[in-house]
Amino acid sequence: MAEASWPSEAEVNEMRNLVSSMAGRDPGEVRIVASPYRICPLGAHIDHQGGAVSAMTINRGILLGFIPADDAKVVLRSGQFEGEVHFSVSDVQHPVHSSKKDVNHTTDSPNRKEEDSRWGKFARGAVFALQKMGHSLDRGITGYICGSEGLDCAGLSSSAAAGVAYLLAFESANNLTMSEVENIELDRLIENEYLGLRNGILDQSAILLSSHGCLTYMNCKTKEHELVRPFKLQKDHQSDLQKSYKILLAFSGLRKALTSNPGYNRRVAECQEAARVLLKASGMDKVEPLLGNGK
């Protein structure tokens, strides 16, 4: 039995109808971004230390349906979270971790629910990243975002998938053309500088660089990457057969958002402290304290 493709035609049509109803526009005007989740056989706490990682995307992820607005207004709803996000792409966005006062939410309704303040950050972060790179945005979007059922905050990089989805949507609405490498850097700005998460570039690189059936390999120090295709076996010296494999995802049922959990950044700091000790013992205490900088 063939594996179901993602997104399905039914999912896309449902998304078109939802956004069409929100915007009061024709379903044919709705644009769809599919941003997949990823797995990483080698990656946890290696990417931000300049190591070599591997990853691949799966056939589940985030769908963002949107229609470019006629003005700078952004209106968003979510399939997972309550509330409605409202802001303008013409407003200057500020990092959410830079101040106890959440200054970048001043354009929202004072009755905005707490859910909004959490999930709305990724859209604002995308605008922040584009602004920081010198891009002027004139058009907002009316959109609806939804992740594959049961897999949000499950360790498959739903946050990076959301960031990438919003970047692609705002770029499309404003006729901006970005390369995969540029969008990797833009999503890094969302997570490192806007949200204050000290992670590396593994997640967004996997989402933007992966290809069906391949493993993505990346050297996080040099940013060089390649696609590793499945091995082939010879049978009776007559034909090559592609080696089959399956990926098992085991979910503990525990959900934690890295941006609200200090444990991740604490582990990054611990890696840097270990690197500092090892590099000093090796006579290399003048280099940046990353484990990947050792000989």
Q: Report d(CA 31, CA 238) in Å as an integer.
A: 47
CA 293 to chain centre: 26
5-19: per-residue pLDDT in tens?
889 999 999 999 999
Name beta bridge partners: 65. 32, 144
Q: Is there a contact between 233 and 241 (Cβ–Cβ < 8 Å)? A: yes
Beta strands in the chain (DSSP E): 31-42, 52-68, 73-78, 85-88, 141-147, 215-219, 225-228, 232-235, 239-242
pLDDT for residue 4: 67
> Which amino acids are annotated catalytic?
203
Q: How many CB atoms lie within 10 A of CB 21?
A: 11
Alpha-carbon distance 161 to 191, whole Å? Answer: 12
| CATH architecture under which domain 9-46+54-212 falls | 2-Layer Sandwich (3.30)
Task: Identify the residue with better confidence: 40 or 26.
Answer: 26
Percent of residues, the chain, with pLDDT higher than 90:
48
Paired residues of 86 in beta bridges: 75
Confidence of residue 44 (pLDDT cuts 50, 70, 90): confident
Query: What's the sign of the alpha-carbon dihedral 82, 84, 89, 93?
Result: negative
Q: What is the pLDDT of residue 122?
A: 94
Q: Percent helix, strand and coil across the chain, each rounded to 5? A: 35, 20, 40
Measured CA to CA in angstroms, residue 270 lies from 19, 45, 198, 264, 276 at distances of: 44, 10, 12, 10, 10
171-176, long-range: CB within 8 Å, 24+ apart, which pairs? 171/130, 172/31, 172/33, 172/68, 173/66, 173/68, 173/69, 173/139, 173/140, 173/141, 174/68, 174/135, 174/137, 174/138, 174/139, 176/130, 176/135
Q: What pLDDT is recorded for position 251?
A: 73
Letter string b/e over residues 44-70, b meaning 16 or more CB atoms within 10 A of that residue's CB: ebbbbbbbbbbbbbbebbbbbbbbbbe
> Which amino acid type is present at position 176?
L
pLDDT over 80 (residue 258): no
Q: Residue 268's pLDDT is what?
A: 84
C-alpha–C-alpha distance, residues 67 and 29, integer Å: 6
| CB contact at 8 A, 132 and 152 | no
Q: Over 80: is that where the pLDDT of 231 sits?
A: no
What does the domain layout of the chain look like in residue ranges? 9-46+54-212, 261-295
Stretch 112-129: mean pLDDT: 77
- The arithmetic mean of pLDDT across residues 24-33, rounded, is 97
- The pLDDT tens digits for 70-86 are 999 999 999 988 889 99
* Contact present, 178 and 171 (Cβ < 8 Å): yes
User: Would you state the pLDDT for residue 286?
Assistant: 84
